[in-house]
Structure 1
Amino acid sequence: MRVGFVGLGNMGGRMAACVVRGGHEVLGYDVRAENVAAAGAKPAASVGAVADGSDIVLLSLPDSRVVEAVMQELLPHARAGLLVVDLSTAAPDSTVRLHGLLAARGAAYLDAGISGGAAAAENGALTLMVGGDADVLDRARPVLDLFSAHIFHCGPSGAGHTVKLLNNFLNAIALSATAEVMVAGKKAGLDLETLLAVLNASSGVNFATLNRFPKIIHGDYLKGGLTNTLMLKDVNLYVELAARLGVASLNSAGPVASFGTARALGYADEISNTVVDAIGDLSGGVRLHTPADKEHS
């Protein structure tokens, strides 16, 4: 298939590079032209040009507002047989509406939430949560497999983005709560390596204790992933989803406050792992690592 890609930023650029390494020429468009070149893609003049020159168009965009704006440019170029895969984190109701608009033109649409962060995108080891028709997913698999280790068909249109919001909410809780615990451990004078070893052998274990904080305590914030702004956006999308479903969202206040505070304190566009520094700022200027640690990381 001829592959197009719109949105080649932190995650999209890494996924597009995986497709290029897989032997495909990728026709790319991004508001920053340098991102297209960095991913090894061939530049397109517009979103419409990507659609015209592709059999499958992959989208990796910040939010539903941007997805809808891009789709307004893409829709006049939609045709029978075109396949669009939205790898963004978006509102499921918007996703379902866009699915209908493409279907009316004979084009297919999959919502495919991703998980794993920048490192997994770099190594082609992402997890995908896909909504849409199973036979359409089968058509897309040869391309999606180039940057994914696990692909789950979650149900009809919107199901992939719904599962993504549920996953990201748990991710946000784990990251923000672990950040608070690690700041408390630092202020208590604990050895943070030992604290993490205990947590990872105990009931407090989570993705952040296993994969994030062993690096963060040495000054490596694993840059390149979801920013505090985007994490807060995802949590708010979850809260909206819960309200629409009639689910009492009793645990959302913590991550909303944590990532909102990180934004307010100047970490808006920094990787969401820096939420630990925002909590540290409010706790007397605490940092988990020392300059010496950072130099030797």
Structure 2
Amino acid sequence: MDVSAIAFIGLGIMGGPMAVHLVKAGHAVTGYNRTPEKAKPLAAAGGRAAESIAAAVTGAEVVALMVPDSADVQDVLTGEDGVFAHAAPGTLIIDFSSIRPDVTRELAEEAGRRGLRYLDAPVSGGEAGARNAALSIMVGGDAADFEAAGPIFDAVGKTVVHVGPSGSGQTVKAANQLIVAANIEALAEAVVFLRAYGVDLEAALEVLGGGLAGSAVLTQKGANMVGHSFEPGFRIALHHKDMGIVTSAAREAGVVLPLGALVAQLVASANATGDGSLDHSALLRGVERLSGTP
């Protein structure tokens, strides 16, 4: 699968740059988005915009999805005008979205009954990772399908790992979101703590980044907190959705996540108080509200 005809459904903050990278890698990409305006960067890069899912999928060897939630993936795949109704047998479906593992397994089973191949391939790295083709991609599904999709993953990601059967990618992504949210919350609390003592914040984060406290979260989100600038790379509303996936899946498995439960509530609070459209580094604002500081 060196060069493929690809349908890409969902051309938002993440999907748009990913589709463009696939064009640059030499693939023939036809994109669809509910908001047609978002297909313009793809068209400018040499891809093609379709007016419907059916039009995008017809003739495609690969169908890639990047949409917000489980219900969106279900609609795209199983709707009357959806992928399952129009994809040819043997088509490989790659779902880059972050959704519930149980929903993924159900969709993969249905795809198999229809003679389609299915990989769940959620990503981590946010908008910067999508724009720089540096995403971390955790893939669930058949090993042979994973190997076949290698050139596609290589065009959009930097770290690509097959983590197990269908649903495994989504399970690993849920764990990723737990770790990221906990790290962002800890960084936010540290920033408020440091400010309360009048410490030079940039200098403090620089030295913390060089020690055991250093992390990708500190590197990528520290500047947001210093500048109180929360242009979304990954919105709190989406992280709220993901924390719901984590807590629900943990409950089903009988796993106790004490810190995860607390962080999930803090993310829920940020979303409920109107910060859902901001970058998840805006968890800082929740700590500031609790601390009574601006």
Q: Which residue of 2 aligns with 1:87?
A: 96
Q: Distance in 2 between matches of 1:132 and 1:229?
A: 28
Give the match's secondary structure for 1:106: coil
Give the match's secondary structure for 2:259: coil
Q: Over aligned residue pairs, what C-alpha RMSD do you find?
A: 1.6
Taking structure 2 as the reference length, the TM-score comes to 0.92
Deviations 1:68-126 (A, max 9, x none): 11111211123321010000001111101100111111110000010111111101111
Q: Distance in 1 between matches of 2:27 and 2:225?
A: 36
Of 49, 54, 67 in structure 2, the residue corresponding to residue 48 of structure 1 is 54
How much has 1:282 moved relative to structure 2? 3.5
Q: Which residue of 2 aligns with 1:14?
A: 17
Is the 8 Å Cα contact of residues 130 and 153 (structure 1) preserved in structure 2? yes
Identity across the alignment (%): 34
Amino acid at match of 2:69: D
Q: Distance in 2 between matches of 1:242 and 1:234?
A: 12
* 1:98-177 aligned within 5 A: 98-177=107-186
Is the 8 Å Cα contact of residues 113 and 130 (structure 1) preserved in structure 2? yes
How much has 1:190 moved relative to structure 2? 1.2
Deviations 1:24-58 (A, max 9, x none): 23111111101111233312122122221311011
Of 184, 188, 201 in structure 2, the residue corresponding to residue 179 of structure 1 is 188
Amino acid at match of 2:60: S
How much has 1:224 moved relative to structure 2? 4.1
Stretch deviating more after TM superposition (119-128 or 38-47) = 38-47
Q: Distance in 2 between matches of 1:274 and 1:53?
A: 43
Following TM superposition, the consecutive aligned residue runs of length 4 or more in structure 1 with deviations greater than 4 angstroms are none
Is the 8 Å Cα contact of residues 7 and 61 (structure 1) preserved in structure 2? yes
Give the match's secondary structure for 2:249: helix
How much has 1:61 moved relative to structure 2? 0.8
Is the 8 Å Cα contact of residues 188 and 225 (structure 2) preserved in structure 1? no
Is the 8 Å Cα contact of residues 165 and 238 (structure 1) preserved in structure 2? yes
Q: Where in structure 1 are there 5+ consecutive unaligned residues?
A: 287-297
Aligned residues: 285
Taking structure 1 as the reference length, the TM-score comes to 0.91
Q: Where in structure 2 are there 5+ consecutive unaligned residues?
A: none
Q: Distance in 2 between matches of 1:279 and 1:189?
A: 17
